[in-house]
Amino acid sequence: MAFIRHYKPSDFDAAAQICRETLAPSLVGSEPAWRIGPYVWTHPFTHLSPTTCFVVDDGTGKAVGYCIGCPDIPSFMASYQRYVDDVLDRPGSEVPRPADVCSQREPWTLPDGSPNGTCLAQTAYNAEWLLVSGNEDLVDGGYKATMHINLLDGWRGGGWGRKLIERFVEAVRAGAMPGTRGIMIGVAPDNGKVVPFYERLGFRLDEGGEKGSIRMVRDL
């Protein structure tokens, strides 16, 4: 029988698969997004903040969905070099280090509109670009926790999303630093259909942010 448990290192490949199979519509079919995506949206959290990372185990040990994140973005950023050293820069890494990882980020898309692999790799290497750029107001306002949630097809619509978020919120409450007000998340602009799900779980739309972005917050 399926159940929720903490992420463990042996879930690495399954977690990457979940990320890849649930990429936002605009990223589907992109080789760089498929290869690098998990190193941007999944592995940083599972590596650096496993106490706030949960998976749905299908009952055989296989992770079929996750809610992963961190309780405190500033502390997470302070530890980010460990992720770079242990995961991104390890021999055989799927994410070659881009020439510039700190001064000038490339555009998100190439002139033909496809995802820019260099920008994705730069984002994987730079926690500021990954989490804070464009969200300074929310982090400064106390929304210092963040998360991602994804379930494989076939595991959706059965209540696992709600249960995962409840476990995540519980863990964040336990690990929150003084001054933390809540959780902020970004939703891909072409995946707006999930907004009602988040609203059911206590999130609300935030009107700020860059034009076209969808940001949501939830108080703890």
Residues making contact with ligand COA (CB under 6 A): 22, 149-151, 156-162, 187, 191, 193-194, 196-197, 200
Tokens 């820069």 map to which residue? Answer: 89
Taking CB atoms, the residue at the shortest distance from ligand COA is 161
The pair of three-digit structure tokens given for residue 20, joined into one six-digit string: 């890849």
**204: how many CB neighbours lie within 10 A of its CB?**
12
Q: At closest approach, how far in Å is the CB of 71 from ligand COA? A: 19
| Residues 164, 54 contacting (CB under 8 angstroms) | yes
Q: Give me the least distance between CB of 57 and ligand COA, in Å please.
A: 15
Work out how close the CB of 187 gets to ligand COA at its nearest, in angstroms, rounded to a whole number: 5
Nearer to ligand COA, 152 or 176 (CB): 152
Q: Residue 39 or residue 160: which is nearer to ligand COA going by CB?
A: 160
Nearer to ligand COA, 29 or 179 (CB): 29
Smallest distance, ligand COA to C-beta of residue 138, A: 16
Q: Which is nearer to ligand COA, 26 or 191 (CB)?
A: 191
Q: Are 132 and 67 in contact (CB under 8 A)?
A: no
Least distance from ligand COA to the Cβ atom of residue 24, Å: 7
8 A C-beta contact, residue 14 and residue 66? no
Ordered alpha helix ranges (H), the chain: 12-21, 31-41, 43-48, 73-78, 80-83, 117-125, 127, 136-140, 160-175, 195-200
Alpha helices in 79-206 (DSSP H): 80-83, 117-125, 127, 136-140, 160-175, 195-200
State the minimum distance, in angstroms, from the CB of residue 104 to ligand COA.
28
3-state percent breakdown (helix, strand, coil) of the chain, nearest 5: 45, 20, 35
Residue with Cβ nearer ligand COA (140 or 199): 199
12 or 197: CB nearest ligand COA: 197
